[in-house]
Amino acid sequence: MCMSRLYRVRGNVGASAVDVEDVEGTLSRASLLALDGAPPAPGDWVVVHSGYVINRVDSLEAEVVAQEIRRGAGTSLASEDSEVRS
pLDDT digits (tens, 9 = 90+) for 47-63: 999 999 999 999 999 99
Task: Look up the domain containing 13 and give its range.
Answer: 4-81
| CATH number for position 38 | 2.30.30.140
Would residue 76 count as lying in a domain? yes
In-domain check, residue 77: yes
For 68-79, how does the pLDDT look when each residue is reduced to its tens digit (9 = 90+)?
Answer: 888 887 654 444
Is residue 20 included in any domain, yes or no? yes
pLDDT single digits (tens) 3-22? 789 999 999 998 899 999 99
Quickly state the pLDDT bin for 85 (edges 50, 70, 90).
very low
Looking at the 3D structure of the chain, how many domains does it have? Answer: 1
Q: What is the DSSP string of 15-78?
A: TTEEEEEETT--EEEEE-TT--SSPPPTT-EEEEETTEEEEEE-HHHHHHHHHHHHHHTT--HH
Residue pLDDT, tens place only, 13-51: 988 999 999 988 999 999 999 999 999 999 999 999 999
- So what's the pLDDT on residue 84? 46
